[in-house]
Amino acid sequence: MGQIADAAPVEESGQPAAPWEQVAGRVADYLRALGVTDPVHLERLGLRIRERFEARVGRAKLEDPVEAAIEVTYALLDRWLSAELGIVGDRDALFTARAAVLSGAVPGWAARFAGVSEESCAAAIRAAGVQALPADAPLTMVPNTIELFWRRVGRAIAAGLRRLIGLLPGDAAADPHQGPPR
């Protein structure tokens, strides 16, 4: 893109816009893509995301403010899901809950996420969640010998040489690797 499109937004005073003003529209678009469409929900979540985003900006310089805002949004969603469902340290349960919510299978989740609704969505989230993998089923493995390529090739070459010089594979007197004659 050209230099104008890539430049940071500038306020009327000529000063660069604050980081939140650079990303607020993108965060709102992202929330809409996640399924948050009500303007009240967008406003409430936008305020909560802005607080966390500005705290993050205050701690360290950001490479990409939009990426940082999206990360803050996901962290807020994960924190809400963990609190709503009582998930502590179970990443699979958190991923399952996030997939259930973002798939659109849980009506009203955005209101609860935005803090507008007092009605819990935990039962609906659990009902919509599907475990991606079956439970672990440890199996015993039968030991299997490994035959290395060069040993097999070496035996084939040795057998070829023995045939070449006239030793028959069944001749026990000529083949030292075979046992005594029967």
> Which residue type, as a one-letter code, is found at position 55?
A
Asked if 38 and 110 count as a contact pair (C-beta separation under 8 A), the reply is: yes
**What tens digit of pLDDT does each residue of 48-71 get?**
998 998 888 888 777 788 888 889
Domain spans, the chain: 7-128, 143-182
Classify the C-alpha dihedral 126-130-135-136 as positive or negative: negative
Segment 126-132 shows an average pLDDT of 76
**What tens digit of pLDDT does each residue of 145-154 get?**
887 888 888 8
Rounded to an integer, what distance in angstroms lies between the CA atom of residue 121 and that of residue 81?
10
Asked if 100 and 125 count as a contact pair (C-beta separation under 8 A), the reply is: yes
Rounded to an integer, what distance in angstroms lies between the CA atom of residue 102 and that of residue 173?
78
Whole-model pTM: value is 0.60
